Amino acid sequence: MSETGRRRRDAKRQSGREPWWAAVAVLLSGCFLLGQPPMQPLTAKALEEAQHRWEAHGADSYHLVVRVRAPRLDVAVYDVVVVGGELAKVERNGQAVQREDTHRYDYSVSGLFALLREDLRLTDVPAVGDVPPLDLRAHFEPETGRLMQYRRTVGSARRRVLLVEVLEYQPLAADAELRAAAPRASG
């Protein structure tokens, strides 16, 4: 094959590769821009499976930061520490929550599962007249089953949306070390 023929063949091979690399670059940039996978409709089965994964692979002691956006309320950020499966510390927007109030602000993994179970009960209520539709969506971490994002939408015209997002999750050291080091919820 002549030198000119080789150059043409090489040029064709290289031009065939460019669209493939361009497609990969577009796909990867889209993944980074779009963030987490979309939330799926919340069902009793999905919640049960997530809870079983958490029981099998979750930590007994962990630190969790949760942002809650509720209708007609300011955004709240909860900083939660769980030691040995029990709430050890809860802060709301940087302020310690009193021990007797911690049950109202239980945004631990088990507390979040309880919230989802309670909201699932709303889907059992029969529609009466112009009852606005209810849409429950969640995204669970695939390995441990812990909640990553949850959205409850009520209504169609003037929507009321509750959005719960886990901003940070960190398993903590052995329970015995934490029990000795971590103070109990303020009180």
DSSP for 89-151 reads EEEETTEEPPGGGGGGG--SHHHHHHHHHHHHHHTTSPP-SSPPPEEEEEEE-TTT--EEEEE
Share of the chain above pLDDT 70, in %: 67
pLDDT tens digits for range 43-92: 999 999 999 999 999 999 999 999 999 888 899 999 999 999 999 999 99
**186 assigned to some structural domain:** no
Please check whether residue 170 lies inside any domain of the structure. Answer: yes
For residue range 167-185, what is the model confidence (pLDDT) as tens digits? 999 999 854 454 555 555 5
Domain coverage including residue 14: 1-35
- Paired strand residues for 64: 80, 169
Do 169 and 147 lie in a common domain? yes
Q: Based on the fold, state whether residues 73 and 93 are members of the same structural domain.
A: yes
Q: What is the pLDDT of residue 51?
A: 97
Residue 33: pLDDT above 90? no
Total domains in the chain come to 2
- Do 72 and 144 have their domain in common? yes
Do 117 and 146 belong to one domain? yes
Identify which has the larger pLDDT, 95 or 124. Answer: 95
Q: Domain check: are 134 and 78 in the same one?
A: yes
Same domain assignment for residues 3 and 60: no
Do 25 and 69 lie in one domain? The reply is no
* 100 and 134 housed in the same domain: yes
Average pLDDT value for the chain? 80
Q: What's the rounded Cα separation, in Å, for the pair 121 and 174?
A: 36
Contact 148, 102 (CB under 8 A): no
pLDDT at 178: 46
108 and 174 share one domain:
yes
Q: Do 5 and 50 belong together in one domain?
A: no
Say how far apart CA 162 and CA 39 lie, in whole Å: 14
For residues 55 and 4, state if they share a domain.
no
Asked whether residue 3 falls in the same domain as residue 68, the answer is no
94-97: list long-range contacts, CB under 8 Å, 24+ apart.
96/185, 96/186, 97/185, 97/186
Confidence of residue 9 (pLDDT cuts 50, 70, 90): low
Is 80 exceeded by the pLDDT of residue 145?
A: yes
pTM assigned to the model? 0.71
Mean pLDDT score, 6-19: 57
